[in-house]
Structure 1
Amino acid sequence: MNVKLNVKQVAAAAAFGLAFAAPAFAQEVVKIGFSGPLSGGAALYGKNVLDGMQMAVAEINAAGFEVAGKKYKFEIVALDDKYNPSETAINAQRLVQESKTPAILVPHSGGGLALQVNNEQNKYLLLSYTSVPQITARGNKLTLRIPPEFTSYVPAFVKHAMTKYGKNLAFAHGDHDYAKAWTAVFKPAWEAAGGKVVIENPMSYNRAADFYSGVSRALAAKPDVMFIGGASEPTGLVVKQARELGFKGGFVIIDQAKMDEMAKVIGGYGPLEGSIGVLPLVEDKTPDAQNFVARFQKAYPGRIPSSEVSLNYTAVYLTAEAMKVAGTVTDATAIRAALDKAAKQLTPAHNPNSLDGVDEKGGTLADTRVAVIENGKVKEVKLSSLK
């Protein structure tokens, strides 16, 4: 049979097909945005966050994802902001306008606070990987704070460090917003417990690799304890250089820095003797945590996951589950309203940090885990025993 179609007929047929195919195609991919440091001193930190997200997406897509009877595929659209809140804001506009992302994950408080200026107006959910209380205290109705508030660590950190080493404290933390938020809470708590701050000397953890001058200045004030923290690698360098300069005291390490990652920089846990910080995920002996570590190492051979990996892995699963509960992949308000119910429906395999729910302000609920270094080994301690 010889069928002839003129140009107008072909064009009409194509237009008819596109009219039906285009909407289906546009809705079959759910894009989640990421804006975080993928270069500079905090690049490893940003990569850990992104790897956790990508691991979740790979699993969700392999299992199949369906909302309101329609199948979707997840995709992460990742942009580098170099830990700069101004860059985060620019990236967010690009993600919303070009990729139509219903949610954007940002792993630093400065960037999260910058996005809260207009995320409600632009109708996207901010997935904020920061434990600063301000991110939920502002009353933003389209925010999820992924980790629990850091304030729960402070009394235990103060008691341990002051009891073991003494009352003179040197602040030698990073100069970024998150470290400043920690300092604003930790300083009055230290002083209220009878301690003395002998020097405040924040350093540019995200832009420097040599901290000898800053550490020397801090040690000249003769502290018993150093308060440190930023991304893991530069925090490890601060410890290394402090020990090389003869510091014998203890370290209080903010939760952004992970002791197992620092150990890679300083040659093991030995230089961290007496320090207190968050329990490394790899040292968490609960079955769910160990199962997650094993699955991550299978997906990323030779790597050890941190809590940045696991918590942001869970954040993607939580967002996906909330979409199912809400019956939409685009309505950020409905997705936000479904988060608490979704959190309670997560399987242990998808929730290795045992998040219990999401409060009315958008903060996750969970027990915080603390560890100290004793005789060169990680030892978990109960918060109740240190308060």
Structure 2
Amino acid sequence: MAPTRAIRPATTVAAALCTGVLLATSACGGAGGSDSDTIVIGYSGPLSGGAAAYGKNIQSGLQLAIGDLNEAGVTVDGQEYQVQLQSLDDQYAPDAAATNAQRLAEQDDAAVVFIPHAGGIQAAQELNSSRTEFLLGAYSSDPKIVEQGNELTMMIPPSFTSYAKPFVDKLTEDGQSRLGLLGTSSEYGQEWTKLVSDEWNSRGGRVLTDNSIDYATVSDFAGPVSRTLAENPDVIFLGGPSQPTAVIIEEARRQGYEGSFLIMDQAKFEEMEKFTDPANLNDSIGVKPVRDYDDPGTDDLIDNYADEVTKERPVTSEVALNYQAAAIVVTAMQQAGSIDDPTAIREALPDALGRVDERFHVSGFPTEITDAGHLRNADLEAAYRTPEGEYEYLSIDQPDE
């Protein structure tokens, strides 16, 4: 089990959750290059606007890991370092993310930059191995990220292609044949919709009208839900951020729907439970809640998140997977003997996985990194919430890359 740790002051993480274009205080990162005894980890994400809660979840995971790394002590090639997070707000815009990443690498000497949205990741991939070199910590389940052949990319979460077949398998066990579509209308959502629709069709089922919604701008979901229910679906596919997903599920139940929900990986059960009666989520399949992992560091992360960030929201995979990833990157620096050579750090990642302190094993810690740069856990599981409200876990076979 992870060793007992002292609780750090709440200001450690609170300082890191500042918003704005550039975090200007020393705790959040200054505007110049790094000191000789500082390792800078860069982050570009949505820290304001509609996706700010999501962006701050990733930022919280990174900052909690950095606090724990500094507490334990970081030595690279015989020199002691303090790790520091430099954060820039991109408001979920791909062009802004790429500009921010370049700025973090060139002005702040960040050899590693984390970005948590597919558009920004792909924009940054156009410059990170040519114009400005940096290792890209890519937090998105879009498989296109590792299909680019970018040698300086580390993809953090499972690919959503892993989920479609087992999700459909589970929800067609009792002969369900009609699939309603209420996913988010983003590019990511439409790729998910196509994947699930193709899988459903392959079983001889019927895919009904696509009533996808822009989860970021639509607040009245009664109409799309009503149109979907008019076709009598056995299963409804939906998902986007957790809050609107929960509201749509609640609306469907309010209108009398008693069937199953197939929930894409962006929405999280533990968050949705905060926005609707948890019973509304019964008979649904989705991502396994972090609290149900038995990794050595899970309970400590949950406790420290409550103490240092908030007691009002649960730890989700956005927090947990980026907490793990920050520790993996710094361990790779130690193995490479370099804090500023992205290629050497990337090459050291396979060896680093087996050397990360167990306190950072919190959410299905990765057992491998593929040649394409994808962190993967051989024991990936999904969660089915039964009609009685209990969680069952299903093993997931991940496709080859």
TM exceeding 0.5: yes
Residue 322 of structure 1 and its aligned partner are, at CA, apart by 0.5
In the TM superposition, residue 332 of structure 1 has moved relative to its aligned partner by 0.6
2:206 is matched with 196
Change in CA separation of 1:163 and 1:230 when aligned onto 2, cut-off 3 Å: same
Distance in 2 (CA, whole Å) between partners of 1:161 and 1:38 is 36
CA distance in 2, matches of 1:25, 1:85: 25
Q: Is the 8 A contact 1:129 1:147 kept in 2?
A: yes
- 2:273 maps to 1:263: yes
Deviations 1:317-371 (A, max 9, x none): 0010010011111111111111111011112221222211211110112022211
Give distance in 2, aligned partners of 1:240 and 1:166. 21
Deviations 1:45-94 (A, max 9, x none): 22211111010011112222111112222111222222222332232233
Matches within 5 A, 1:252-291: 252-267=262-277, 269-285=278-294, 287-291=296-300
Match of 1:4 in 2: none
Instruction: Say whether residues 1:358 and 2:369 are aligned partners.
Output: yes
Structure 1 residue 231: Cα displacement: 1.4
Alignment partners' CA distance in 2, 1:318 and 1:178 = 27
CA distance in structure 1 between the aligned counterparts of 2:183 and 2:99, rounded to whole angstroms: 27
* Distance (Å, rounded) in 2 between the aligned partners of 1:238 and 1:315: 32
Question: In structure 2, what is the equivalent of residue 380 of structure 1?
Answer: 392
Q: Does 1:62 align with 2:71?
A: yes
Over 3 Å counting, the alpha-carbon distance change for 1:38 and 1:384 in structure 2 is: closer
State the alpha-carbon separation in 2 of the partners of residues 165 and 212 from structure 1: 28
| Structure 1 residue aligned with 2:11 | none
The change in CA–CA distance for 1:35 and 1:213 in structure 2 (over 3 A counts) is: farther
**Structure 2 counterparts to residues 135-174 of structure 1, below 5 A:** 135-164=145-174, 166-174=176-184
What is the match of residue 28 of structure 1? 37
Q: What is the identity, as a one-letter code, of the residue corresponding to 2:374?
A: G
Partner of 2:247, secondary structure, is helix
- Tell whether 2:378 aligns with 1:369: no
3-state secondary structure, aligned to 1:194? coil
**Deviations, residues 97-144 of structure 1 (Å, cap 9, x unaligned):** 332221111112222112111111110111011122211121100000
SS of residue paired to 1:316: helix
Question: Could you tell me how far apart the structure 2 residues matched to 1:254 and 1:67 are?
Answer: 40
CA contact (8 A) 2:136 2:154 kept: yes
Letter in 2 for 1:111: G
1:238 Cα deviation from its structure 2 partner: 1.6
SS at match of 1:123: coil
1:27 and 1:54, CA in 2 relative to 1: closer, same or farther beyond 3 A? Answer: same
- Cα deviation per residue 1:179-224 (whole Å; 9 max; x = unaligned)? 2332232221111012211011221112333322332332233322
User: Structure 1 residue 338 and structure 2 residue 348: aligned?
Assistant: yes
* Mapped pair 1:107 → 2:116: yes
Determine if the alignment matches structure 1 residue 71 to structure 2 residue 83. Answer: no
How does the TM-score come out when normalised to structure 2? Answer: 0.84
What's the CA shift for 1:279? 1.0
Task: Please give the TM-score of this superposition, normalised by the length of structure 1.
Answer: 0.87
Mapped contact 1:41–1:231 kept (Cα < 8 A): no
Tell which deviates more after alignment, 298-307 or 145-154. Answer: 298-307
- Alignment match of 1:46 (pick from 50, 55, 61): 55
Distance 1:165 1:299 in 2: 47
Moved more, 151-160 or 331-340: 151-160
C-alpha displacement at 1:285, in angstroms?
A: 4.5
Residue 384 (structure 1) shift: 6.5
Equivalent residue of 1:39, what SS? coil
Which structure 1 segments of 5+ residues have no match?
1-22
Label 1:42 to 1:237 Cα distance change in 2 as closer, same or farther (>3 A).
farther
1:184 aligns with 2:194: yes
Change in Cα spacing, 1:266 to 1:212, as seen in structure 2 (3 Å) is: same
- Partners of 2:162 and 2:396 within 8 A in 1: no
Identity %: 36
SS of alignment partner, residue 377 of structure 1 = coil
Displacement, 1:227?
0.9
Matched with 1:80 is 89
CA distance in 2 between partners of 1:52 and 1:275 (Å): 27
Q: C-alpha displacement at 1:41, in angstroms?
A: 3.5
Task: Name the stretch that deviates more: 166-175 or 375-384.
Answer: 375-384
- SS state of the match for residue 293, structure 1? helix
User: 2-side partners of 1:69 and 1:286: how far apart?
Assistant: 31
Aligned equivalents of 1:134, 1:25: Cα separation in 2: 32
Structure 2 unpaired stretches of 5+: 1-31
CA gap of 1:241–1:211, structure 2 versus 1, over 3 A, is same
Q: Equivalents in 1 of 2:64, 2:263: separation in Å?
A: 28
Instruction: Kindly indicate whether the alpha-carbon contact (under 8 Å) linking 1:328 and 1:334 is maintained by their aligned counterparts in 2.
Output: yes
Q: Relative to total residues, which structure has the larger helix share, 1 or 2?
A: 1
Question: How many residues are aligned here?
Answer: 362
Q: CA deviation at 1:286?
A: 5.0
Distance of 2:46 and 2:240 partners within structure 1: 13
